[in-house]
Amino acid sequence: MDYRETYKQWCTDTFFDEATRAELSALTDENEIKDRFYKDLEFGTGGLRGVIGAGTNRMNLYTVGRATQGLADYIIAKGGQNKGVAIAYDSRHMSPEFSEAAALCLAANGIKAYRFESLRPTPELSFALRTLGCIAGIVVTASHNPPQYNGYKVYWEDGAQVTAPYDKEIIEKANSTPFTAIKTMDRSEAEKAGLFVTIGKDIDDKYMEALKKQILNADLDREYGKKLKIVYSPFHGTGNVPVRRILSEIGFENVYVVPEQELPDGDFTTLDYPNPEDKKAFKLALELAKEKDADLVLATDPDADRLGVYAKDSKTGEYMCFTGNMSGMLICEYILSQRKERGLLKDDSALISTIVSTNMAEKIANYYGLKFIEVLTGFKYIGEQIKIFEQTGKGTYEFGFEESYGCLVGTHARDKDAVVAVMMLCEAAAYYASKNMTLWDQMIAMYEKYGYFKEGLYTMTIPGVDGAEKIAAIMDKLRKDAPKELGGLKVVKSRDYAEGYNGLPKSNVLYFDLEDDAWFCVRPSGTEPKIKFYAGIKGSSMEDADSLLNKLLKGLEQLA
């Protein structure tokens, strides 16, 4: 069936609700019709993510129902239907509706759904499903994507997003499920049958207690929590309540929330792009920081798994921006230094990073005598390593992070957690304040200790029907005609992860080692119509690092 026939079916078949049929019948742009129906919105390794709207290539109640029915069939086939599924959702448009539809589909299949009463962070979903002993978890979120998007991610019983072999098996089930096979039931009937259970405060309280177990200097939190000033923005998302609660409970008294971005807003009215990687998103927070003379400026993305950071430079008084690599390494150094001082590091302690993150991580691991493990891009692979440690009894997780502003302190969750990251970063600020240092001062000290590592990212967005073909063509060209040098640096060696490397799953990623500890890496995004070019260098000073990275990034733009 071609896209036109599928479109006509959706317009006329009474299986689809009246609002859906009316929305589609009103379309006049042929390109819009084609984009909505030229393919199914596939359930991939990152779940579903797409623009909200009617059509097979959109996020709607039918595509969500189809994915959930496939997941339910898989759970039943595995004999896990008695364990239940936890469900959370964020502040985006249709998130409550999608999460309820998923819960009712599961209930209709005889699987108990534990759904949060209101929006919650993604990491709390990971914590909840482990706490409740569920077979799986669902979170409805599009993370930091623009407001027209929503998404649907699946977690397995270890608390991490699904990995092999479950990911491919669930994907196959979901993508082969016809819309007409979707089961559902009335909510009141599901609640009476004990198949739709609302969760909230009890899990919140347990989550807070789990975070507090990571505290290393409680006395300093209380002492400097009275002095340090913190500006925070939840970017209209799920972080507002848990972030403010944890900081208040451990002693940070001067937390100023950006009022315009405090409350949930699916339109993200004050933001072009609700992403802590975007400097423009910090405009209001930085204005408030200057007004309050704040020491720290923090922001979490809508589902509160990523953290953005600015800290004051004590010499200039300016607020300095931290990349995800920088804030991750700052938290890492603080934790490892304190745990080493207390004799808490073990012979099998490990630091886990992704292949596109900073090479400073390996330097830090070596300094503290930790095993250094690199995994593919995606925090689920870090979560998978924690599971392997538990199953084999070999390896102690100390810290894991990725360059895209996500890290995990502790093993209460198996995904990146910006709530615990905020807590630990504020504690680090208190500790370094006791040494008369700001976080920026400490960052400079780390550069002097390990080297001036700096990383950058160049991204091309190619939406629409032709986007995937163009991205594939770029990857194919790089495989056939790899560059010999870039940004004035020679390529020393390269590796193609599609062929498998170092025991990692095969992945469409190309990595190039350059001379002088530099590198670049190319991969298509798994959730958006983008191709990403990552780069990293090691300079002799901040200025040298900036110069080297700029040359390398200009070279990457020419590759595309």
Active site residues: 143
Residues 159 and 411 sit within 8 Å (Cβ to Cβ): no
For the purposes of burial, counting CB atoms within 10 Å of the CB of 31, is it exposed (0-12), middle (13-18) or buried (19 or more)?
exposed
DSSP H or E stretch at residue 73: helix 61-77
**Beta partners for 52?**
59
- DSSP states along 93-107: TTHHHHHHHHHHHHH
User: What is residue 378's three-state secondary structure?
Assistant: coil
Q: What is the bridge-based pairing of β-strands 113-116 and 196-199?
A: parallel
DSSP H or E stretch at residue 388: helix 379-392
Q: How far apart are CA 528 and CA 549, in angstroms?
A: 25
DSSP code at position 280:
G
Residues 6+ apart with CB under 8 A from 37: 3, 4, 6, 7, 10, 55, 56, 57
CA 387 → CA 86, 160, 379, 395, distances in Å? 19, 9, 13, 10
Closest CA to 263 of 286, 240, 289, 287: 240
Closest CA to 158 of 148, 146, 169, 167: 167
At CB < 8 A and 24+ separation, what contacts does 420-423 make? 420/123, 420/211, 420/214, 420/246, 421/307, 421/327, 421/331, 422/232, 422/239, 422/243, 422/246, 422/247, 422/298, 422/300, 422/307, 423/211, 423/214, 423/215, 423/246, 423/247, 423/250
- What is the residue whose two structure tokens read 């070999």? 394
Number of C-alpha atoms within 13 angstroms, CB side, residue 288?
23
Distance of CA 548 to the CA centre of its chain: 28
Read off the tokens for 535: 């780069």
Closest CA to 76 of 110, 118, 117: 110
- What is the residue whose two structure tokens read 């006329």? 12
CA 146 → CA 13, 149, 301, 528, distances in Å? 31, 6, 11, 11
Closest CA to 445 of 456, 433, 437, 454: 437
CA 195 → CA 64, 75, 508, 524, distances in Å? 19, 15, 40, 39
Q: How far apart are CA 531 and CA 174, in angstroms?
A: 26
DSSP H or E stretch at residue 329: helix 324-341
